[in-house]
Amino acid sequence: MSILRRKSAPEAPPVAPAVVEAPTVGKGRPTPKRREAERRRGPVAPPPKTQREAVQRSRSAGKALTKDERRAMATERRQRMMRGDDAYLLPRDRGPVRAYVRDLVDARRNIAGLLLPIALLSFIVLLIPSPLLQAYGPLVLLIAILAAVLDTMVFARQLSRKVAERFPKGDGSGLSTRGRALGFYAFNRACLPRRWRVPRPRVGRSEAVS
């Protein structure tokens, strides 16, 4: 009889075939534009002005500069400083007022420029066993120092007048534009030979400085 027959097992529901996705070629998203990429990365930091700043940046980034990189950076910094780039100059040399004073000093024949040769000559004279030379050698050096100081004092007055005419409101660098400060700055530069001056002279001797 049909009642005594064994019930057949229920049929399993049909399994849907698995959908195999094709591999995505590329990043799967449009490449962002350059402006969008820069905006995501944030503002780009300016190049380091000093070697110390570059070393600090490299340490914070987890990498160390090689010896050749440090040497190249030092060379570039030296060249920019000799050209008179304000970003690479010492604080005492920055600003258009100090650049103007340097031009006036370099275009002038300063008595202070003779102090170093006379001092060297006086030292050599002291080594000569001659009472006459040893007596008058330091005297010549003393006269040269006094002449250089007087010449610088007169030049400082001219500097003060010219700077006041050209920069009536200063240059915004915060450095003093008084005659005494400018005279001291001019004296220090005038004492050095032209090839030793930093930054390098931009004008020749007896050249007019406007």
Structure token digits, residue 208: 């007019």
- pLDDT one-digit tens code per residue, 36-68: 555 555 555 565 656 566 666 666 655 667 888
> So what's the pLDDT on residue 179?
79
Per-residue pLDDT of the chain (210 residues; tens, 9 = 90+): 444 455 454 555 555 555 445 444 555 555 555 555 555 555 555 656 565 666 666 666 556 678 888 888 888 889 999 998 988 999 999 999 999 999 999 999 999 999 999 888 888 888 888 888 888 888 888 999 999 999 999 999 999 999 989 988 877 777 777 878 889 999 999 999 999 999 999 999 989 887
Domain ranges of the chain: 50-83, 91-196
**DSSP per residue over 79-109, as a string?**
HHHHHT-GGGS-GGG-SHHHHHHHHHHHTS-
End-to-end CA distance of the chain: 128
Nearest Cα neighbor of 112 from 12, 191, 208, 11 is 191
